[in-house]
Amino acid sequence: MIGTILFVGLVVLIQMAGQVCLKRGLNSLPQTAIQGAGDIVRFLLMVFRLRYVQIALLLWGTWYLLYLTVLHKFDISKSFPLNSLDLLLILLVSRFYLREILPWPRWVGAALICTGVVLVASS
């Protein structure tokens, strides 16, 4: 059981790191208005050239391969709820690394979700 939680925890960390890298990369872009198909293509070309976005895609590819292992080896009813723990990790990284301001209801909601995850995982 501990090995399962640690492995799924690693998978969740990789997924969360991909989210943070994507956000960091997108934060470096100027605010632009997208009005047509040409604007979308130009925007996507800018996005995919960003190093942090490339790292995010690499992390998500790794996450996907590892998550295939999780789904193959473990009960989905226990492993899938553990993915919800990335919400708490994202909140912590958003607050302390990205310097976002987070209202208290968001923290309470995350605590309730984490409580549910513990209940599901321990049953």
pLDDT, tens digit (0-9, with 9 covering 90-100), for 43-52: 889 999 999 9
Domain that holds residue 91: 2-122
The count of domains in the chain is 1
**10 Å Cβ neighbour count for 76?**
9
pLDDT(120) > 90? no
Average pLDDT over residues 33-41: 79
- Read off the pLDDT band of 40 (50, 70, 90): confident
- Read off the pLDDT band of 75 (50, 70, 90): confident
Contact status, residue 75 vs residue 120, Cβ threshold 8 Å: no
Phi-psi region of 99 (alpha: psi -120 to 50; beta: other; left: phi over 0): left
Nearest to 66, CA basis, from 2, 19, 6, 113: 6
pTM for the full predicted model:
0.79
